Amino acid sequence: MTGTLLTEDHDRVRVLTLNRPAKLNALDTTLTRALRDALDDADLDPGVRAVVLTGNGRGFCAGADLSEFSDLTPENPGAVLERAALTAAVQTRMQRMGTPVVAAVRGAAVGGGAGLAIGADMVVAGADLRFGYPELRHSLVPALVMTGLVRHLGRKLAFELISTGRLLTAAEAFEHGLINQVVEAENVLPAALEIATKWTAVEPRALSAAKDLFYRVADLPTDAAMRAGQDVNALMRGFRA
């Protein structure tokens, strides 16, 4: 198989594989656009009930491909804005999908790659994980991944990662709730497929409604969250066959 993004179906599970291993699957515009479109396609396909996102080779994703940055300058404002909008859309897309997504992560998951990992609904990580946000080391600001990081971590640790570029180990990421499981690196994909396969056994409308409500209540005051829950409680009566 060729291409910057590989797609493979395992029954009702769709596996999306970032495929730039020589670049540690760094996100250039072509790969970012392909990932956005593939996530949209999976969410619209009634035959797909779960998605696994992984990376080919020894790393999950090294973040943005810095070689493109020479063209993303103030002299090309249209390109800058287009790339920023594309990146923002991909970083938030998985949590907005009705279809659940589990990330199978090994090796480097840094910058935009770290954002992709925690943007999934669940994360299985290899014991070789190195997770963090080293952008300031390159005089860059982790602007489009900061929202996800702050929502997942306490402010003190989040600021430490952003300001120092320190990378977390798999054990640290698990301790702080960034990932769900730690397995040997060669087992990340099988472990993620096991989770995804369990999701496919759940009534898809119920799972989609549960996922939507889960992320909505996180951003609502208690009373509004309870009202949203009441609405879904009434809706779910129609899910039974």
Closest by Cα among 83, 28, 43 to 16: 43
Inter-CA distances, 193 with 51, 53, 103, 202, Å: 9, 10, 10, 15
CA pair distance 160, 33, nearest whole angstrom: 31
Of 35, 107, 27, 30, nearest to 66 by C-alpha is 27
Name residues whose C-beta falls within 8 Å of residue 90's C-beta, 6 or more positions apart in sequence.
Answer: 27, 32, 35, 36, 39, 116
- Strand 108-110 and strand 130-132: the pairing is parallel
For residue 80, the one-letter residue type is V
Who contacts 91 (Cβ-Cβ below 8 Å, separation ≥6)?
A: 112, 115, 116, 119, 144, 145, 148
Cite the active site residues: 135
